[in-house]
């Protein structure tokens, strides 16, 4: 048996065989690699946020904060990758765009998993995908969101989160409760440790919005208002997703502090 090496441990040979341009255009390689790297980062973010949920269940505040810090660093890296993609001009992208056929970023099931995990519960996210991908999405749809895990954490550390909130149907979008606002205001005024958790969640929400914004501007810069690949609405749809927060309660209480 061969000893473990850098290449064998990381499966480098297999990894480098995964870039298969559909054309001979120079810039298609960059396009493929950037998007493959995004999918790897999505995988890592899902891995880390699952760990955050576990840390919430164990009311391990230190681990929650450390893991969210890592996710935030990943988001900054993902956002900076757009700088690399923007070195490709619109005309360079158009040389191979037709080769993408019906493929589209909207078909990233890992990103849909992330949205479900963060509380964007829409069953159409599951049904729009082929059968072989639905198992993972269905599981995410049925599971509590990160916000649900946070509210359970608050209850475990002594806050009076209403039972109606703790036992809600987690397949439905979260509806804000005045009692939760009262708890959050109290936390910000009197509980520095838990305030730090709230602020890291705000950072996560803001980081995702920042990445969405840069992504929208990159698409607009590249194809303008043309229809997106795969028949999507392109920039106009992407713009509609901007500034939609996953943790609206944390934003709403700012006017109450």
Q: What CATH number should be reported for the domain holding residue 57? A: 1.20.58.480
pLDDT class of 164 with cuts at 50, 70, 90: very high
- Average pLDDT of span 139-150: 97
Indicate whether 20 pLDDT > 80.
yes
Q: Which domain holds residue 227?
A: 25-93+105-256
Please, what is the end-to-end C-alpha distance for the chain in angstroms?
A: 63
The reported pLDDT for the residue numbered 227 is: 54
Residue 4 belongs to some domain of the structure = no
pLDDT class of 126 with cuts at 50, 70, 90: confident
| Structure tokens that stand for 99 in this block | 């080769």
Residue 110 belongs to some domain of the structure = yes
Residue 7 belongs to some domain of the structure = no
Residue 100 belongs to some domain of the structure = no
- The residues, ordered by sequence, that sit 6+ positions from 133 with a Cβ below 8 Å of its Cβ are 109
What Å distances lie between residue 99 and 8, 92, 103, CA to CA?
Answer: 33, 13, 9
pLDDT class of 219 with cuts at 50, 70, 90: confident
């Amino acid at each position: 048996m061969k000893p473990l090496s850098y290449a064998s441990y990381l499966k480098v040979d297999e990894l480098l065989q995964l870039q298969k341009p559909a054309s001979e255009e120079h810039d298609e390689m960059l396009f493929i690699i950037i998007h493959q790297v995004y999918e790897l980062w999505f995988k890592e973010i899902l891995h880390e946020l699952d760990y955050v949920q576990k840390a919430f269940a164990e009311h391990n505040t230190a681990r929650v904060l450390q893991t969210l810090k890592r996710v935030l660093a990943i988001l900054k890296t993902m956002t900076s990758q757009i700088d690399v993609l923007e070195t490709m001009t619109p005309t360079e992208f158009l040389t191979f765009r037709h080769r993408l056929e019906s493929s589209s970023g909207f078909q990233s099931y890992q990103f849909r998993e992330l949205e479900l995990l963060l509380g964007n519960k829409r069953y159409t996210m599951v049904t729009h995908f082929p059968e072989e991908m639905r198992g993972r999405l269905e599981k995410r749809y049925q599971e509590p969101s990160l916000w649900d895990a946070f509210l359970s954490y608050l209850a475990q550390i002594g806050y009076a989160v209403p039972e109606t909130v703790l036992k809600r149907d987690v397949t439905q979008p979260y509806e804000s409760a005045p009692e939760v606002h009262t708890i959050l205001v109290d936390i910000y005024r009197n509980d520095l440790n838990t305030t730090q958790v709230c602020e890291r969640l705000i950072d996560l929400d803001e980081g995702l919005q920042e990445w969405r914004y840069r992504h929208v501007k990159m698409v607009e810069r590249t194809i303008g208002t043309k229809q997106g690949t795969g028949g999507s609405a392109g920039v106009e749809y992407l713009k509609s997703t901007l500034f939609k927060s996953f943790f609206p309660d944390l934003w709403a209480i700012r006017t109450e502090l």
